[in-house]
Amino acid sequence: MQTFPGVGVSPGRIIGTVRQMPKPISEPPAGEQLAGDTSAEEATAGLKAAAAAVHDELKTRAETASGDGKAVLEATALMAKDTMLLKNAAKLIGRGTSAQRAIWEAGASVS
């Protein structure tokens, strides 16, 4: 970031780069169940594939980042493939919970 000394010509206004975070995802409805045409095995496989894709995307983004941003992306990538988290979610899916709700609950149990 560059600092410009002096008095601004328009007090209270600045010009600079703005970066906005996307809106957070919404919590899946409590008690959300697997769709009737989806088996627990299919849902678990889909969850594992999604986790791997998220991991890979975050690692790719970390390669072009630096400093704290790089560290955050690398740590988040590790969380995406956390075996304990995925095992807990798979157990919930096996009991009929949707994959989205299962990973939400698994994450909440360790946070």
% of the chain beyond a pLDDT of 70: 92
pTM of the predicted model, to two decimals?
A: 0.77
φ, ψ of residue 30 to 5 degrees: the values are: -60, 135
Give CA angle at 7 (6, 10), nearest 5°: 140
Region 27-52 average pLDDT: 97
111: confidence class by pLDDT, cuts 50, 70, 90: confident
8: confidence class by pLDDT, cuts 50, 70, 90: low
Other CB atoms closer than 10 Å to residue 82's CB: what's the count?
16
The SS3 call for residue 22 is coil
